[in-house]
Amino acid sequence: MDTVGTMDRRMLLQAAATAGIAGAIVADRAEAAAPSAPPTPLSTVPLQLPTTEFTYEAVVDLEPMITLGRSPLGERRMVPITGGVFQGPRIKGTVLGGGADRQLVRSDGVLLLNALYELKTDDGAIITVNNRALIDTPPGQAPYAYSVLEFTAPEGPHAWLNRGIFVGTVHGLPPERHAVLIRVYKVV
């Protein structure tokens, strides 16, 4: 066999190998770009409605409201928290004084609350609560007053509060009581 024929064959094999690699790369890219399976129809995903379980009920004592003035977002107010009590199936204790409920009354009349305060359990644990609520009282309708609560609890028997989504209701108590009733539920 002559050297020219051998070189032609080598170049041909090398070109074929290179083309094969390039073809494989192109095929891999096409596979990566294409979905591997058709999308799952929404009708096959079961509808799972959230449910809740009662966590606790708190009566939070308040000082009179302090007006902080208007802002571009609405009227600002603050209500100091002076104490209170709470109790539920797994937890009970007192609401510590020193927290406050910061409020914003929007131009549409909706009230946004952001209360930051501490709970002290009967076994001495201190739990920080950040309770954000929206209260709307349209004329002729029942008030819409719901909140989302975030807890920061120490490790130990109350650490379960760090591992859930909690929602609540907010109810004003008679004016002479100067307190609110908060009911808290864990989404399960």
Given this model, what pLDDT does residue 31 score?
A: 54
Second CATH level (architecture) for the domain 52-187: Beta Barrel (2.40)
User: 95: burial class by Cβ within 10 Å (0-12, 13-18, 19+)?
Assistant: buried
**125-133 average pLDDT score:** 98
Span 75-100, pLDDT tens digits: 999 999 999 999 999 999 999 999 99
More reliable by pLDDT, 48 or 187: 187
| Rounded Cα gap, residues 146 and 82, in angstroms | 22
| Structural domain boundaries in the chain | 52-187
Q: pLDDT tier at 130 (50, 70, 90 boundaries)?
A: very high
| Rounded Cα gap, residues 129 and 148, in angstroms | 10
Rg, C-alpha atoms of the chain: 31
Q: Worst-scoring range by mean pLDDT, 21-25, 122-126, 179-183?
A: 21-25
Given this model, what pLDDT does residue 25 score?
A: 45
Q: pLDDT tier at 140 (50, 70, 90 boundaries)?
A: very high
Please give the share of the chain, as a percent, with pLDDT higher than 70: 79
